[in-house]
């Protein structure tokens, strides 16, 4: 069993299995843990290793609290930032994500602060920021 990261975003994503498949396809995520719910349909917990870090996710369980899915078009209240070693990876990841249903918010561009940056909203409503140093 691997050590858990000191800080990891925890996403509510329904359907979680579709999000897991998407994150594996787009970001090269690796599944580290998976716990199905007792209903046999939803995912109670999943940990994915992405780009040297981790995210946790699960389906929404409104019966256990006030969780809900983002409403389409709703402003994101948090973003997940991925730091890449090369600008090429930012461009390739953005292209792959948008070809698989993400909405590009900021297309890859060279920023005034010295990075190649792009932002997108995945098909499940979560916002991702992709960065790489220009030099």
**Tell me: the pLDDT tens digits for 71-127?**
666 766 678 999 999 999 999 999 999 999 999 999 999 999 999 999 999 998 899
CA R_g for the chain: 15
Encoded tokens for 43: 């995912």
What is each CA distance from 129 to 38, 39, 63, 83, 93, in whole angstroms? 34, 34, 32, 8, 11
Contact 30, 49 (CB under 8 A): yes
Give the C-alpha separation, 74 to 71, whole Å. 5
The structure's pTM equals 0.86
Region 27-32 average pLDDT: 97
Supply φ then ψ for residue 90, to 5 degrees: -60, -50
Residue 29: other Cβ atoms inside 10 A: 21
Residue 130: other Cβ atoms inside 10 A: 27
53: closest CA among 102, 116, 9? 9
Those residues whose C-beta lies under 8 Å from the C-beta of residue 44, and which sit 6 or more positions away, are: 35, 36, 37, 38, 58, 59, 61
pLDDT value for 69: 63
- Biggest CA–CA distance in the chain, Å, is 50
pLDDT value for 1: 46
């Amino acid at each position: 069993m691997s050590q858990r990261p000191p800080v990891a975003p925890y996403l509510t994503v329904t359907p979680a299995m579709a999000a897991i498949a998407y994150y594996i396809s787009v970001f090269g995520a690796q599944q580290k843990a998976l716990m199905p719910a007792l209903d046999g349909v939803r995912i109670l917990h999943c940990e994915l290793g992405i780009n040297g870090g981790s995210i946790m996710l699960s389906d929404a369980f409104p019966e256990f609290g006030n969780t809900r899915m983002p409403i389409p078009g709703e402003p994101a209240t948090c973003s997940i930032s991925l730091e890449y070693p090369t600008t090429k990876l930012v461009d390739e990841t953005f292209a792959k994500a948008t070809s698989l249903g993400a909405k590009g918010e900021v297309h890859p561009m060279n920023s005034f602060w010295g990075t190649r940056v792009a932002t997108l909203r995945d098909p499940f409503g979560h916002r991702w920021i992709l960065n790489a140093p220009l030099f």
